[in-house]
Amino acid sequence: MRAALERELEAHGWISFERYMDLALYAPGLGYYSAGARKFGAGGDFVTAPEVSRLFGACVAQQCREVLRDMSDGCVLEIGPGTGRLAVDVLSRLESLDSLPRRYLILEVSADLRERQRGLIARRLPHLLPRVEWLDGPPTAPFDGVILANEVLDALPIARFRWHSSACEELGITLSGGRFAWCGRPASAAVTDACRRLAAAAGGWDEGYVSEYCPRLEAWAHTMVSSLRSGAALWFDYGLPRAQYYLAERHEGTLRCHFRQRAFDDPFLHPGLQDITAWVDFTALAEASATAGFELAGFTTQAFFLAAMGIDREMQRLAGGDETQFARLAAEARQLLMPGAMGECFKAMAWTRGLARQLSGFALQDLRHTLRLPE
Ligand SMILES: C[S@@+](CC[C@H](N)C(=O)[O-])C[C@H]1O[C@@H](n2cnc3c(N)ncnc32)[C@H](O)[C@@H]1O
């Protein structure tokens, strides 16, 4: 990967960070998500909620069931399932609730991860494998049901910028003494415009403020949901409403890299071998719901979503009266729920279209006002 990036830099002299991140994560056969490597779970680079506990999938399944209940032919589409843990947990809980979707569709960019997902489902739920279908692109035929995406938005390439009130810079990469180095360039009109809007929403920044935004978020999300005729899209990720994300104090942005359970902020250290992420601007995601023709049906923390979907009842059920098992599940639940762990920095957002019912997962806490959307 490093050699491919060096060739790109030798050819162009400078590339934007968005381009760098795109290549480092997704370059065919070389990028972090495209090449084969053990990425998730205890032996990987980071741990996601479905990898922490099947309680997460059990609660998500309850929310899916509520949406699928009135549909004769409902499907679930999961975007970016990683190892496939969430798919297994959602399918097995829906089966036990007698609420299986007609199809469980999977959209995954990584061929390696597709095989891993197929292997896990084949081992754990072989009888349900015929119901699962891997798509080569977003569905084109209209369907009713649920779209799920856990920790996918944070992996979309971002543009990095340095703010000056006179002229904004876009941060990119050059080669300096044979090494990758940050290098600013006068930002394009589009990046400057985006930065001005973010600065205004945050109440202004000092000179030299560095942060990022995701230029492709809206278009990407629209493509993902365009075929959902009726139902809900559920987005889970770490992030904040815009006014909190772009606080003046957060003057180096939220760019993070993950490699072997360590988090650090140097994206040049292990290109192709480390994950690169940034928090999600949930105001931007909420704005995209309206332009996609969806209603913003809920925004809450992961803890409140899981509590509303009955994580306590799921714990009792999964433990089945076994105290050791219950203690293990309680430890997992703490990781999912505690504010200092995943409970508060991870959020859940729901978009709905053509759905009469309210979603129970968002009934305990409504944080939509924090997004500061126009009335
Ligand atoms: C951080 S992992 C999360 C995996 C899983 N959802 C979980 O919670 O464990 C990101 C996943 O999204 C996939 N992905 C990234 N960009 C994608 C895209 N544009 N379309 C579909 N999948 C994508 C990656 O290959 C990977 O499976």
In this predicted structure, what is the pLDDT of residue 1? 86
Query: Which residue from 109, 136, 234 has its CB within 8 A of the most atoms of ligand 1, so it is best to mutate?
Result: 109
96/73 Cα distance (integer angstroms)? 18
Residue 36 has pLDDT above 80, yes or no: no
Residue 16 has pLDDT above 80, yes or no: yes
Type of residue numbered 312: D
Q: What percent of the chain has pLDDT over 90?
A: 88
| Angle at alpha carbon of residue 21, lines to 18 and 26, rounded to 5° | 120
Mean pLDDT of 328-347: 97
40: Cβ below 6 Å to ligand 1?
A: yes
Q: What percent of the chain has pLDDT over 70?
A: 98
Atom of ligand 1 nearest to the CA of 39: 2
51: Cβ below 6 Å to ligand 1?
A: yes
- Answer for the pair 204, 249: CB distance below 8 angstroms, yes or no: no
Q: What is the 3-state secondary structure (H, E, C) of 122-154?
A: HHHCHHHHHHEEEECCCCCCCEEEEEEEECCHH
151 CA to middle of ligand 1, Å? 7
172/165 Cα distance (integer angstroms)? 19
133 CA to middle of ligand 1, Å? 16
Atom of ligand 1 nearest to the CA of 107: 21
- Answer for the pair 276, 24: CB distance below 8 angstroms, yes or no: yes
Q: Which two tokens stand for residue 208?
A: 């030299």
* Dihedral, 43, 126, 313, 361 alpha carbons, nearest 10: 80
Q: What is the pLDDT of residues 81-98, one digit of tens each?
A: 999 999 999 999 999 999
Nearest to 343 by CA among 306, 312, 300, 302: 302
- Indicate the pTM of the whole model: 0.97
24 CA to middle of ligand 1, Å? 14
Q: What is the pLDDT of residues 214-237, one digit of tens each?
A: 999 999 999 999 999 999 999 999
Q: What is the pLDDT of residues 135-188, one digit of tens each?
A: 999 999 999 999 999 999 999 999 999 999 888 999 999 999 989 999 999 999
Residue 41 has pLDDT above 70, yes or no: no
Q: What is the pLDDT of residues 280-337, one digit of tens each?
A: 999 999 999 999 999 999 999 999 999 999 999 999 999 999 999 999 999 999 999 9
- Answer for the pair 15, 173: CB distance below 8 angstroms, yes or no: yes
Q: How many CB atoms lie within 10 A of CB 131?
A: 18
Average pLDDT, the chain: 95
